[in-house]
Amino acid sequence: MLTLKVPRIDDPGLRRPVETQPKATAAWLARLPFASPVDTAQQLVTALYALNRHPLGEDERYALLALFRPVVARAAANLETLLVEAGVPPHAQQRQGGMLLRELLIEHSFGYKHVLLAQGNRRFGRNPSRRQAEVIARLLAALRDIQAACYLTYSVPPAGLWLEMHQLYQLAWTSGLADSAVADALPASLAYRQALLLALADPPHMSRAELVHTRLFLDGFAALAALNPASSLPTQHGFAIPTDSDLGPAQSGVELQAGGLLLDTKALCRQLHETTVRLRTGDTPRRLGLPQGMESELSQSLGKKLLKLWRTGAHRAFKRYPAPGSAVQLVAGVSAIHRVLEQGPPTAETDADADDSLPIGDVEPLLAARAAVSASHWTVSNDSAAGFALSGAPDAPLNLKVGDALALRSADDAPWSLGVIRWIKMRDVRQVELGVERLSPLMQPAWVRPLRGHLKGRPEPALYVPGSSALMQPDRLMLPRYLFQAGMDAEVWRPHHQTTLSFGRRLEHTASFDLIDFTVIANEPAHD
């Protein structure tokens, strides 16, 4: 039996004035202030809220939803654009935009739930199969969009979301409508596979740019994944779908129960591997048939990540251990870390004369303009050889993002170590959880001045990361995201060292920094 969460329509206390005439509704939608995404979304949420709690016939509601649907899609896309640069905890305006996005998509889904339930209660009339195929497909797509909005805003998906998607796919399958494409609606099975694959892509570990690219890739290639009843397969190869629970897809190796589904990604991974190889050898995204908006460089790095996740599932390399009561101080961002290292007290390694090697005349104006940095305080949830999880409720918006560099220390007199944010979750409007990978126990502030022929750029703050012979790691530089250019020469100043070097390979690339190796051209004595 199909069970869907919908608001009541027989409670007079929930009713609001509502426009139900299609002509007047279309005229009102055309007048919405699209230049102001937040205002548009607020008005749409108010109107849909009223419609979803107002008694309407199936045909009337269906016709009104057809008018609202493209406007909701446009408003949601505009809100997503506002959230691209948002971090956690979000600023008030970003938090409002994220909340409106989720509310808008939830109210939109309620409308199609009402129509589908009304179809199920119909006892006579025309054959509903074509409209039913469309409504199931649009409702699955709406629930998939709610799922994506929660990932985009680092929010917990609503309870019951996966259970409803599983039920809708099963209804479409048993009715023979799973692969039916009606009008401009995606087939129900395709929207369902997109939702499953997006969950398997591990969105908490993604930057927003990676999440956007993953959705674009799924628009083009999700149809290559196959859904099969578990009982019809002689071997269990793929990802288990527990259709009787409010859970998404499980990683490989999970035992399937009778009636469950298996998502087979072999053909999808072959396509992904071929696409990544061709991008690396010089083909453009357009020549490969990738959707518009996919950058070649980001698509390459994302392709490798998705290939691992969609082929074998993610496996933890190191066991994690609880760390009750442990706490750390945290500073995020290359520039902020540079500042906190320079403003710290003198130590045996960085004494009061450490700045003698810096290009004083060039950086004095920069130093004077830079404000002091304050660390935020976090609790360690668990620990491992590779990294740890943190939780906290910062008092001020920090705008943290996946891929941000972090400086961490356990106490005021402890040395700073270097890490990077690998995943982010928000349990509520303030409680944040971070997954951090350790990069280095040591680092030094550095100034990097690019050399382009006879031209010299302005010095930029960076981090010098000493190598480890035990791990066979060379010395590295962590640069701001905008600075790297392969093969470019640069002057580098750090405590007691002045070096001319050439940028080498990019060892890691995130939306916040580039971690590179380099070749030393000349070492010069430090001077004032």
pLDDT at 346 > cutoff 70: no
- Both 461 and 374 in one domain: the answer is no
Percentage of the residues of the chain whose pLDDT score is greater than 70: 84
| End-of-domain residue from the set 419, 440, 461 | 440
Average pLDDT, the chain: 84
Q: What distance in Å separates the CA atoms of residue 338 and residue 331, rounded to the nearest whole number?
A: 10
Mean pLDDT of 235-252: 79
| End-of-domain residue from the set 440, 473, 505 | 440
- Both 412 and 488 in one domain: the answer is no
- Both 455 and 348 in one domain: the answer is no
Residue 44 forms part of a structural domain? yes
The candidate with the shortest Cα–Cα distance to 436, out of 409, 464, 474, is 409
Mean pLDDT of 105-124: 87
- Identify the three-state secondary structure at position 504: strand
CA distances from 516 to 428, 503, 505 (A): 36, 7, 6
Q: How far is CA 241 from the centre of its chain?
A: 22
Domain range for 423: 321-440
The candidate with the shortest Cα–Cα distance to 169, out of 107, 229, 256, 257, is 229
Burial code (b: 16+ CB inside 10 Å, e: under 16) for 396-429 equals eebbbbbbbbbbbbeeeeeebbbbbbbbbbbeee
Residue 192 forms part of a structural domain? yes
- Both 483 and 379 in one domain: the answer is no
- Both 171 and 77 in one domain: the answer is yes
Map tokens 């000493």 to a residue.
466
Residue 274 forms part of a structural domain? no
Q: What distance in Å separates the CA atoms of residue 274 and residue 294, rounded to the nearest whole number?
A: 16
522 pLDDT band, cuts 50/70/90, is confident
- Both 393 and 376 in one domain: the answer is yes
- Both 436 and 449 in one domain: the answer is no
pLDDT at 353 > cutoff 50: no
- Both 428 and 464 in one domain: the answer is no
Mean pLDDT of 98-105: 95
The candidate with the shortest Cα–Cα distance to 478, out of 391, 418, 397, is 418
Number of H helices, E strands in the chain: 12, 17
Mean pLDDT of 264-285: 87
Higher-confidence residue of 420 and 124: namely 420
Give the pLDDT confidence score for residue 132 in this predicted structure: 92
pLDDT at 316 > cutoff 50: no
Residue 272 forms part of a structural domain? no
Q: Which of 76-90, 106-120, 469-483, 514-528 has the lowest mean pLDDT?
A: 514-528
Instruction: Write the CATH number for 341.
Output: 2.40.10
Give the pLDDT confidence score for residue 23 in this predicted structure: 96
Q: Are strands 387-392 and 497-509 parallel, antiparallel or unpaired?
A: unpaired
The candidate with the shortest Cα–Cα distance to 473, out of 522, 508, 422, 510, is 508
Give the pLDDT confidence score for residue 355 in this predicted structure: 45
Give the pLDDT confidence score for residue 21 in this predicted structure: 95
How does DSSP classify residue 365? H
Give the pLDDT confidence score for residue 304 in this predicted structure: 86
| End-of-domain residue from the set 440, 462, 494 | 440
Residue 310's CB is within 10 A of a number of other CB atoms, namely 20
Maximum mean pLDDT: which of 122-136, 300-314, 354-368:
300-314
Residue type present at position 169: Y
Residue 186 forms part of a structural domain? yes
The candidate with the shortest Cα–Cα distance to 109, out of 37, 158, 60, 180, is 158
Provide Rg for the chain, Cα atoms.
Answer: 27
pLDDT at 526 > cutoff 70: no
- Identify the three-state secondary structure at position 22: helix
pLDDT at 18 > cutoff 70: yes
Return all residues near 463 (Cβ < 8 A) that are at least 6 apart. Answer: 334, 337, 338, 341, 405, 418, 443, 444, 445, 446, 477, 478
Residue 275 forms part of a structural domain? no
455 pLDDT band, cuts 50/70/90, is low
Mean pLDDT of 391-412: 88
Residue 234 forms part of a structural domain? no
Q: Domains in the chain: how many in total? A: 3
Q: Are strands 489-494 and 476-480 parallel, antiparallel or unpaired?
A: unpaired
Cβ(165)–Cβ(174) under 8 Å?
Answer: no
Q: What distance in Å separates the CA atoms of residue 351 and residue 365, rounded to the nearest whole number?
A: 22
C-alpha torsion sign, points 73, 77, 82, 87: positive
- Both 392 and 507 in one domain: the answer is no
Token code pair at residue 344: 């710290």
pLDDT at 122 > cutoff 50: yes
Give the pLDDT confidence score for residue 233 in this predicted structure: 47
Mean pLDDT of 318-330: 70
- Both 349 and 470 in one domain: the answer is no
Q: What distance in Å separates the CA atoms of residue 274 and residue 277, rounded to the nearest whole number?
A: 5
pLDDT at 38 > cutoff 60: yes
350 pLDDT band, cuts 50/70/90, is very low
Give the pLDDT confidence score for residue 128 in this predicted structure: 66
Token code pair at residue 275: 């696409």
Residue 426 forms part of a structural domain? yes
Mean pLDDT of 405-423: 93
Token code pair at residue 449: 């001045």
Mean pLDDT of 486-493: 91
pLDDT at 124 > cutoff 60: no
Q: What distance in Å separates the CA atoms of residue 369 and residue 476, rounded to the nearest whole number?
A: 27
- Both 65 and 188 in one domain: the answer is yes
Burial classification of residue 526, based on how many CB atoms lie within 10 Å of its CB (0-12 exposed, 13-18 middle, 19 or more buried):
middle
Q: What distance in Å separates the CA atoms of residue 363 and residue 445, rounded to the nearest whole number?
A: 13
Cβ(58)–Cβ(119) under 8 Å?
Answer: yes
- Both 194 and 58 in one domain: the answer is yes
The candidate with the shortest Cα–Cα distance to 161, out of 247, 259, 263, is 247
